[in-house]
Every structure is written in C-alpha cells, then in structure tokens.
Amino acid sequence: MRLRHFESLRPVCPVCRVAGGSEFPLRIATVAREENGHIVEAALHCTNPLCLREFPVIDGIPLLVSNLRAYVAANILSIHGRDDLGELIESMLGDCCGPNSDFDQTRQHLSSYAWDHYADLDPQESATGPRPGSMVRTLEIGRELAGALPTGPILDVGCSVGRGTFALAERGDGLVLGVDLNFPMLRLAAGVLRHGRVRYPRRRVGLVYETRDFPAAFEGAERVDFWACDAAALPFAAGTFSMATGFNLLDCLAAPREFLGGLGRSLKTGGKVVLACPYDWSEGATPLEGWLGGHSQRSPMEGSSEEFLRHLLQPGVNAQAIGGLELTAERDHLPWFVRLHERSMMTYSLHLVVATRTADRPASENPKPTDTHEQLRSPVL
C-alpha cells in the first residue's frame, strides 16, 4: 500500500458504510513492515469510537471489506500460502492435489488472466495463434470513447492481475487504484508493482504447468496501487474518482444494479465509467433476479442484456435510471480471448458502454414512470 494513495483517497470504514451509510475515515494505526516505499504489513483502524474495527495490510494489499472474518477464512490458504516454491515442487503439489482442487483452480485462473494481461511482454510467448492483450485493447477503445475527464484519481474495479491498472496510469498523470476481491490475483499484481517482474504458472495441458518469469516495467507505475475491496461496497466517499472502469465484471456480481449505483456515487460530476461485459450470466455468480435481462422469455428486452443496460443508463426518460449515470457512448462485439491451455481458447464478444455521471436532479425533476419503466419489470418465476 502506498501512503500517497491512502492519504489522497481517504478510504472510509466499510463496516460503518454497510451498517448505516456513515463515512468514518480509516487511519494507519501500526506499520509493521515497509519495503521500497510500500507499506507491506500494517493495521488500519476505523476512527468511529463506536466501531474501532481494524483491517490488515498483507503483502502490500489492504483488506478493506466489511465481513473481514469471512473474507480471511475463505482466502486463508492463499493469504498464508507460500509463493517462493520452484516449478518442481509446485508441479508435485499440483499432482498430489489433483484436478478441480483449490490449488488447481487458483493456478488455472492465474494462468488465464496473467496470459492475457502480460504475455505480450513474455519473450517465450509464441507468435502464432490468438494474441494476448484483450484487456489492453478493450481499455484503449473505452478510454478513447470516454474523452475528456475531470481532474482526479481513477478506479479500476475488478482489476484482476493488474495490467489494466498500469495501462490507465500510462495514459494519464493522476493516481490509479486497482481493486478486486481475488487475493491471489491481487498478490500477483502487487508483486509486479513492487518488484517489476511477472511470475505466474502457465498451463500447458491438464495438471502440467510451466513457470513464466520475466520483467515488466510500466510508465507511471509510481502512481498505481492495489487494494482488496468489494465492488458492491466501495469504501470511498462520494465524488472521489474522475473515472472508473470495470471489464468482465457486471455478470460476476451478486447485485449488478447496486454496483452501478455505488459506482455512480463514487464519481465526480462529469466523471466517466467504462464497462465491458459479455453478459455470461450464471446463478453461481448472480442470483436470477439480479440478471440484467436473460431470465424471462416474456419481456420485450429479455433477449438483449445490452438493451436492458441502455435503459438503466437513461436518467432523462427512465425512473429506474441508476446512480445519475447517463449513457454517452458504446461499442459492441469486441473480441476477448481467454486461454485455458495450449489447445483451448475461449472467445467472448463484449459490449462496451461509457456513461457520464450527471449532476443530481431535484426530486421535482425526476422522471415519472413510463412505458420504458414498465418494460424493465421483467417477470421472474
């Protein structure tokens, strides 16, 4: 964790925010270890005398989540696990744990995401087949469509292993923060930030992986940081950010509408949000009632999640418009490649939208329900 980011962004206690909407800032209570300008281990405390919750900084990553006990319990093997083992021992552990184990699934996820984010920098990467870099290419399109921004920091929500966060810093001069809940991915991103190297398990086939390790330096990296935060309960005061991005995220959340509302509140007036999604809905990630389209054949918009999202981003005509966000640009059918192993590649088609945070309307000016409003009320059995 960088002190500059902490002091500039002034995170608030996520417990107080969830419990009653109160915004009590956190303070650095204890610093146990620092390394090259990064706070690697520390304790953060809520300043609310009725709360006084504490939140750890582990491997340079502050864990700013409301249900900290549940988060740590779910991630304790990743948090406490070693990351200094060589390829030989890692391969033996993978053979022992077998397919579909937590160890195997973590390596698979790191392989797929790190390949797309960083394999263009890998001198061993093959020049044939689908190329990595879907994240960077999509971000470049979204950043161009977003246009001018107000001054202020940028938030990369669902940053995964971090390449998009670095790319945002390369294209601006303000602070950039990447947030995610996946601790192994955050630790990989934080490792790139602190050590300037990418190290990840690249899957060949089955349980066979090879370790890839290569340098990665990015302009503006001194303005980047990575935190563990819940996208649906961001621990920041309203109007903090000039832009927020979220790629392949909407269909991975329990409550997409609430996420959009919170994202809108976190932006300055005139700030932009850039979202890209393949609408790959699954009850494992999002309850059926939370899907933006796709859960009923008896609604005019159910066959089009992108149309559903458009209606949610029309504050001038739609009473259910979310968080003061107004659609200002979009691009459809953007390819996104996900590498599974040497002979398997998934291709998604992404819908990208840019929305602008509008000024809050007086209650008397809020739109009344219309036919569009009625269309949004999709039947759910």
Which of 64, 94, 116 is the last residue in one of the domains? Answer: 64
Q: Do 259 and 114 share a structural domain?
A: yes
Query: Which burial class, exposed, middle or buried, applies to 284 when counting CB atoms under 10 A from its CB (0-12, 13-18, 19+)?
Result: exposed
Helix (H) or strand (E) holding 60: none
pLDDT at 375 over 60: no
- Split at pLDDT 50, 70, 90, the class of 376 is very low
Q: Do 54 and 174 share a structural domain?
A: no
- Split at pLDDT 50, 70, 90, the class of 377 is very low
Within 10 angstroms of residue 147's Cβ, the number of other Cβ atoms is 11
Mean of per-residue pLDDT scores for the chain: 91
Q: Do 350 and 228 share a structural domain?
A: yes
Q: Do 106 and 58 share a structural domain?
A: no
pLDDT at 81 over 90: no
Q: Do 36 and 180 share a structural domain?
A: no
- Split at pLDDT 50, 70, 90, the class of 191 is very high
pLDDT at 380 over 50: no
- Split at pLDDT 50, 70, 90, the class of 105 is very high
Distance CA 149, CA 245 (A): 13
H-assigned helices in 175-253: 183-195
Q: 69 in a domain, yes or no?
A: no
Distance CA 55, CA 26 (A): 9
Q: 182 in a domain, yes or no?
A: yes
SS3 125: coil
Q: 209 in a domain, yes or no?
A: yes
Query: The domain containing residue 186 runs over which residues?
Result: 82-375
Full-model pTM: 0.92
Q: 380 in a domain, yes or no?
A: no
* Total count of domains within the chain: 2
Q: 70 in a domain, yes or no?
A: no
pLDDT at 378 over 70: no
Distance CA 342, CA 7 (A): 44
Q: What are phi and psi of 187, to 5 degrees?
A: -65, -35
Question: 161-199 in b/e burial notation, b at 16+ Cβ within 10 A?
Answer: bbbbbbbbbeebebbbbbbbbbbbbbbbbbbbbbeeebb
Query: Which burial class, exposed, middle or buried, applies to 57 when counting CB atoms under 10 A from its CB (0-12, 13-18, 19+)?
Result: buried
Region of residue 354 (left: phi > 0; alpha: psi -120 to 50; beta: else): beta
Q: 366 in a domain, yes or no?
A: yes
CA atoms within 13 Å, Cβ hemisphere of 34: 8
**How do residues 4-54 score in pLDDT, each as one tens digit?**
999 999 999 999 988 877 899 999 999 999 998 999 999 999 999 999 999
Q: Do 173 and 110 share a structural domain?
A: yes
Q: Do 370 and 263 share a structural domain?
A: yes
Q: Do 88 and 57 share a structural domain?
A: no
In the chain, the amino acid numbered 120 is: D
| Residue-level pLDDT at 369 | 44
Q: Is the dihedral of CA 79, 95, 199, 88 positive or negative?
A: positive
Q: Do 123 and 5 share a structural domain?
A: no
Q: 225 in a domain, yes or no?
A: yes
**How do residues 48-73 score in pLDDT, each as one tens digit?**
999 999 999 999 999 999 999 999 99
- Split at pLDDT 50, 70, 90, the class of 333 is very high
**Cβ atoms of residues 357 and 325 within 8 Å:** yes
Distance CA 366, CA 43 (A): 44
Long-range contacts of 1-8 (CB under 8 A, 24+ apart): 1/38, 1/39, 1/42, 1/57, 1/60, 1/61, 1/62, 1/225, 1/227, 2/37, 2/38, 2/39, 2/225, 3/28, 3/37, 3/39, 4/175, 5/175, 5/177, 5/225, 6/39, 6/62, 8/153, 8/175
Q: Do 165 and 55 share a structural domain?
A: no
**Among 271, 245, 105, which residue's Cα sits nearest to residue 179?**
245
Q: Do 94 and 4 share a structural domain?
A: no
Q: Do 282 and 254 share a structural domain?
A: yes
Q: 77 in a domain, yes or no?
A: no
Question: The domain spanning residue 302 has which CATH number?
Answer: 3.40.50.150
| Residue-level pLDDT at 264 | 92
H-assigned helices in the chain: 3-9, 14-20, 68-80, 87-97, 102-118, 134-146, 163-170, 183-195, 256-266, 305-312, 371-375
Mean pLDDT of 199-214: 96
